[in-house]
Structure 1
Amino acid sequence: MPRVSQCLALLAVMSTTGVQAANQEIRALFQPDPSQPSKNLFVNQTPNSGYCASYPVQCANANMFSIQLPVRFDSNRAIVPGDDLSLRVPVAWRRLTVTNTDTQETEDVEVRITGIGSRYILSNTVEELTGVVHPSGHDVLWTSRAGWLYAPAPCLGTGVAGYTATLYHFFWRMPVEAACTKTAAFGIPSMYFQGIDIAYELKTPNPLSMSSGLYTGSITYTLGSSGDFQMGSMMDADDDSLTLDFVLDVQHTLKVEIPPGGNKVVLEPEGGWQGWLEHGRRPTRLYRDQLFHISASSKFTMKIECEHDMGFGNGCGITDRETGYVGAVNVSVSLPNGLTDSTGQPVRRMPLRLTPSSPFQPGIYVDRKPGTLHFEVDQRDVNWLIDNARDKPYKGNITVIWDSEVG
């Protein structure tokens, strides 16, 4: 029976480390989907927190998710009328390297921040600051006479906000890397932003070209009035930096099924032995094509192992155990569409050796598609076997190995 080395999954995870730094874990997972064999994307596994946890319908409609960062920004002085609170985040794509913890293979990941939100909390009620009760007091607190539900250009609002007399929960989408500014219309003795909610996008590598396992990596941003994340020139962060720790979890499939009885291969001439037995016509070859079904989402190699090694490093034999006469058996494989060789060509009757083949590569997830193992004794060895037959069968075990542990 063939032996198959089973490949398991990918996922991107963020760990928490650091001194005077905030950390956030981000996870992404790839598992092949038989119903969508062409889908080769990682799926976000990081639970929603912050804004999208509070307003899941709005986020679902915008195809957006958010995470809340354990960061606080406090005003370092009183805010006076005319002061700007300018919010800015790293919208441009940034690249990081993730490394397979077992194989040390590396891949590039890109990340960008696409939105920011928070809860601003005031030292006084909006009625005390403006003379107007909430929610209208939050609107008149700023010169645009509109609360933070309405994002200033170039930012975009999300249509829903939450508030109390001293708190306002907002979220802005940021399509470009530029400051989005609100200007105070009244004085505010002090205020702070409690937690930062961010939305982000990832560009991940093609998981079909990656080995199974966990790929980890991190990227660090600066926080504060001149940092990557800014909440206003007078707003100081309680951490100097923010580190996002990623783990991409790749969980591949490699499964081979041989039909019942397919492990016993009988080599015969085309049309059977009648031509030889009745008319003395020597067969030109002995062969058998053995069907198998394969499911594969990652690279794999194939090789053979022999009970009777022919001694040339590449072939197996079948032998008459009484006389010791041996004939060579050539083994090759044809793989289904969607699986190619290392040069991108279809695999048709590719010889298998005692050493591993070059990796076969799926272009899509191949789910239980038929392939063929070809076993053949060529004419020279057929003549040898017939001439030395003693009414005893020639036998030998050949093991075919599909191996996803590609180095």
Structure 2
Amino acid sequence: MSLFTTLKKTSAPSALALALVFSSPLALAFVEEVTAVFRPDPSNPMSNKFKNTTPEGGVCAWHPPAIPKCRALNIFGIRNTGFSASSSGPILANPTDPRQGAYFKVPSEWRDLQVTHVGTGEVETVQMRIAGVGARWNLPRPPGVSAFMTAETPGWSTYWYGAPEPCQPINYLAAGNNFALFFWIVPEGAGACSVKNGTEIPWFTYTHLEYAYELKTPNPLTMNTGEYRGSLTYSMGPGGDFDFGDIMKPGDTVATFNFTLSVEHQLKVDIPPGGNRIELLPQGGWQAWLNAGRRPDRLYRDQTFRLSASSRFKMQMECSLVIGNTCGLRNGNGDEVPLQVAVSLPYGLQDGHDQAVNKRPLRLDGSGTELFQPLQYVNDRPAILHFEVDRANVSQMLEHPGTTYSGVVTVIWDSQV
């Protein structure tokens, strides 16, 4: 008995990249671009995370002692040299209200934003928070940087190099006589961090803003191939999300993050040479029937193939001969019998009900194989297609000795779920 199968895969390599772009025609805007990508890594299949590919800047990228701490905290730094803020008047010595001096409050709590697949309308949720803040500040000399010496601090740099609570130090400071660059870690949900000056400062400016952000992205293994886009907008200025106190007035009034997420999935099926020609045989071959007339219980073939998958997919079947909800075989006299086809998938792949896939029947209506999803990236693992004619139908075939039953089965792996 022979069976010819056509095995095909309908999946384009898919991609997940994350890009942040923003602009506003009605308000001054703080503009950044952030990109990240998910691409399955055969060398590390358990890592199912996005990789941030934004050109990094500032302390987290350029200051070697800070780099491992930023990586450990899973934060990513950006230095925006287009940002500026200026004092609206002098900063009085020893202000009783921290909002009247060097004051920094950023949106360190998690914010949700929805991203929508540009093709299907599928919606996912991304979370973002600001996890670090820094700047370059400038002031006249005199008083120079010594303006930040107070009775409580032995040196002007104590809190700029360290960090005032609730911020945390990364131990970075670069300074001259009349300027300094600093950076602090901002814990989740922290309030404002401020530094008091002991001498009046006639004017004060920030000529860049540095920040670190942290992202929580969806599970890419459950997302479709393609791009997802969405926006998150922060206010900037006194009382805003980015708040620099009542004296410092930023040139920007809005910070809008426009996300574009893209996923690069892999769905690859490798059939061994000759694996598309299936010969159905009894257990142990035909000798028991030829020598002793013992009827076989079934005719079958288990065809192994190799599978790599990082995305959801479904399996479908098409037939040259349809019998009910499955395929059939026919001999030259027109006698027909149904053929049962099933699939077993490796560990790491499950169905839509979180069940393992073991000899799952393939049916023409697609029921039972409409969704398979990875728990992890499955890389080049063995799977099996099962082909079988059962006992009752084998008996029918044996009534026509000397004939050959054949048919064509097309098995489809489709990532467009």
TM over 0.5: yes
TM-score w.r.t. length of structure 2: 0.89
Partners of 2:415 and 2:312 lie apart in 1 by 6
Task: List per-residue Cα deviations over 1:305-357 (Å, max 9, x = no partner).
Answer: 111222x2x2111222x322222111001111111111111111111012332
The answer as to 2:412 corresponding to 1:401 is yes
Question: Which amino acid in structure 2 is aligned with residue 12 of structure 1?
Answer: L
Partners of 2:257 and 2:207 lie apart in 1 by 19
Contact 1:89 1:228 in 2 (8 A): yes
Partners of 2:404 and 2:116 lie apart in 1 by 53
Cα distance change, pair 354–303 in 1 and its aligned pair in 2 (3 A): same
Aligned to 1:108: 125
Contact 1:75 1:192 in 2 (8 A): yes
1:141 deviates by 7.9
Partners of 1:62 and 1:341 lie apart in 2 by 38
Partners of 1:60 and 1:396 lie apart in 2 by 61
Partners of 1:315 and 1:48 lie apart in 2 by 55
Partners of 1:241 and 1:79 lie apart in 2 by 25
Partners of 1:50 and 1:255 lie apart in 2 by 40
Aligned to 2:19: 13
Aligned to 2:315: 302
* Unmatched segments (≥5 aa) in structure 2: 1-5, 96-100
Aligned to 2:3: none
Task: List per-residue Cα deviations over 1:63-122 (Å, max 9, x = no partner).
Answer: 243112342211111222123222111111111111122222111111111110010122
Partners of 2:60 and 2:151 lie apart in 1 by 25
Partners of 2:20 and 2:328 lie apart in 1 by 53
Partners of 1:142 and 1:40 lie apart in 2 by 52
Question: Which amino acid in structure 2 is aligned with residue 345 of structure 1?
Answer: Q
Partners of 1:337 and 1:188 lie apart in 2 by 66
Aligned to 1:220: 233
Aligned to 2:358: 348
SS in 1 for 2:34: strand
TM-score w.r.t. length of structure 1: 0.91
Partners of 2:32 and 2:414 lie apart in 1 by 36
1:52 deviates by 2.9
Contact 1:307 1:396 in 2 (8 A): yes
1:143 deviates by 6.6
The answer as to 2:40 corresponding to 1:35 is no
Contact 1:120 1:167 in 2 (8 A): yes
Contact 1:119 1:194 in 2 (8 A): yes
* Unmatched segments (≥5 aa) in structure 1: none
1:139 deviates by 5.0
1:379 deviates by 2.0
SS in 2 for 1:277: helix
SS in 1 for 2:116: strand
Aligned to 2:53: 45
Task: List per-residue Cα deviations over 1:2-41 (Å, max 9, x = no partner).
Answer: 2112341211111232132222222221122223222222
1:189 deviates by 2.1
Partners of 2:237 and 2:46 lie apart in 1 by 43
SS in 2 for 1:217: strand
Partners of 2:231 and 2:345 lie apart in 1 by 39
Partners of 1:74 and 1:385 lie apart in 2 by 91
Aligned to 1:67: 78
Cα distance change, pair 142–399 in 1 and its aligned pair in 2 (3 A): farther
Aligned to 1:25: 33
Contact 2:321 2:407 in 1 (8 A): yes
Alignment of 1:298-377 (within 5 A): 298-310=311-323, 312=324, 314-320=325-331, 322-356=332-366, 357-377=369-389
Identical-residue share of aligned pairs (%): 41
The answer as to 2:165 corresponding to 1:165 is no
Aligned to 1:94: 111
Cα distance change, pair 142–287 in 1 and its aligned pair in 2 (3 A): farther
1:218 deviates by 1.6
Cα distance change, pair 306–16 in 1 and its aligned pair in 2 (3 A): same
Alignment of 1:144-293 (within 5 A): 144=153, 145-147=155-157, 148-175=160-187, 176-293=189-306
Q: Name whichever of 17-26 and 190-199 sits farther off.
A: 17-26
Partners of 2:35 and 2:163 lie apart in 1 by 29
SS in 1 for 2:143: helix
Cα RMSD for the two superposed structures: 1.9
Partners of 2:289 and 2:373 lie apart in 1 by 43
Partners of 1:208 and 1:142 lie apart in 2 by 57
